[in-house]
Structure 1
Amino acid sequence: MPRLLFVLAASLALTPLPGQASESALGKPYGLLIHDQGGAFFYHDGPRTNRPSCATQDRWVINVTTSAGQAMYAAVLTAVASGRKIAVHGSGACSFWGDTESVTSLQVFD
């Protein structure tokens, strides 16, 4: 029984935890790219904190196959067209595209 508890505790200790979500300060989005698999990629010129290790590309992705993703991408397009800055909040994971952190929310500023 103690050996089983040790194995269980060791397994839990070695289980990877999800990365901390990254955030960006105010900056302008640029370099928009739409992929045929439903990803809208963009870069952001503001500073970024807590980027997960999976995000080897310094960009963000929005899944535009959902209505929430389409709304977020419309906000990015609005920011680009009007020269406004945005703040981006990531998921801490690269669930949609393996090397790019997924966006969970963003805010457009004047």
Structure 2
Amino acid sequence: MKRTLCLILSMIAIASPSAASMTGFGTINTIIYMKNGAILFNTSAERTTPTPACQSATFPKRFAIDASTVSGQAYASGLITAYAMGKKVRITGTGTCDIFWDTETVQYFEVEN
């Protein structure tokens, strides 16, 4: 039984995605709208945790949102509003690059008051 449990836990650890990364608060300084509905954006904030392996070293402060979905459109609305108002945001990523191959996907973000 112990051996089976250890094997299962080992398999879960191997199959788990990279740890999500986070940034401090910073401004949005570039927004790129892609034909497929993806929105890529850069922040001025440094990451407070390591970047996932899939993240481009060229654009370490870039994140992605899928605006072709209803939830992604809500994210995009909040993001663009924060950008237009000059508000700072703190990003938490998923640890994966599911939307754009070299850019971490957004799990959620916070807008500073």
Higher gyration radius (CA): 1
TM-score (norm 1): 0.83
1:21-75 Cα shifts (integer Å, max 9, x gaps): 0011100011100000110000011111221010113200000011111111111
5+ residue gaps, structure 2, are: none
The alpha carbon displacement at 1:16 in A equals 5.5
Corresponding residue SS for 1:20: coil
Runs of 4+ in 1 over 3 A off after TM superposition: none
Letter in 2 for 1:50: P
Does residue 47 (structure 1) correspond to residue 46 (structure 2)? The answer is yes
Question: RMSD across aligned C-alpha pairs, in angstroms?
Answer: 2.1
Q: Percent same amino acid among aligned pairs?
A: 30
Structure 1 or 2: more strand by fraction: 1
Equivalent residues, number: 103
Corresponding residue SS for 1:72: helix
Letter in 1 for 2:65: I
CA distance in structure 2 between the partners assigned to 1:52 and 1:28 by the alignment: 21
TM-score (norm 2): 0.81
5+ residue gaps, structure 1, are: none
2:103 to 100, 105, 109: 100
